[in-house]
Structure 1
């Protein structure tokens, strides 16, 4: 009987320690998942300022026009339409990698919003009376 009791207590002790370990591991995993989710959400949010938008637009326009001219010239020289489309497609993919992610260079001039002004009580009362 003593051996049985000891065996049960060891099992109970092991179960309680494994349960507490599982709780600690689960909370750590949840915190990592939440931080990963917030990081992904921050990346997907796409915060760029108006100056960054203008820079992206100018960059895209310049790269698309210059890559179209260069790919046409090289394709014409080689007499291959496949080379023309391959060069232009590669430049377009490179441009997408350059301008689609919200790189920090596109958020160097963040917008400073005005503080919220709470309406006065008198104006609320006048609105109720009207």
Structure 2
């Protein structure tokens, strides 16, 4: 059970952008190739199969949180004391 909890399940913000861009590139590329190939052999089913293969490939490359999607984690601020109600700015007296 402890081994399962150590599996990373998150992506950082930059990684989400990378995954989205890669996903779009793969889908458009496979869609274009499928369209050209399907038109060439006059089989729309081949277009759908090629696009489906692109969808499967894109999903395998972008849905799991691979290491390339977790390389720039955000630096969070330290938590404030529960009793601290200030806005964090110091006020100067004149």
TM-score band (shorter)?
0.7 to 0.9
SS in 2 for 1:47: coil
Work out whether 1:77 is the aligned partner of 2:44. Answer: no
> What's the counterpart of residue 105 of structure 1?
68
> What's the counterpart of residue 37 of structure 1?
4
CA distance in 1, matches of 2:27, 2:16: 16
> What's the counterpart of residue 90 of structure 1?
53
Scaled by the length of structure 1, the TM-score of the pair is: 0.60
Give the unaligned 5+ runs of structure 1.
Answer: 1-33, 124-130
CA distance in 1, matches of 2:45, 2:28: 19
Give the unaligned 5+ runs of structure 2.
Answer: 86-94
User: For this pair of structures, how many residues does the alignment match?
Assistant: 84
Cα deviation digits, residues 88-120 of structure 1 (max 9, x gap): 101110111010100011010011111011134
CA distance in 1, matches of 2:3, 2:68: 23
> What's the counterpart of residue 25 of structure 1?
none
Q: RMSD between aligned alpha carbons? A: 1.4
User: What's the offset of the Cα at 1:48?
Assistant: 0.8
User: What's the offset of the Cα at 1:75?
Assistant: 0.5
CA distance in 2, matches of 1:58, 1:89: 18
Scaled by the length of structure 2, the TM-score of the pair is: 0.80
State the structure with bigger RCO (CA 8 A, min sep 6), 1 or 2.
2
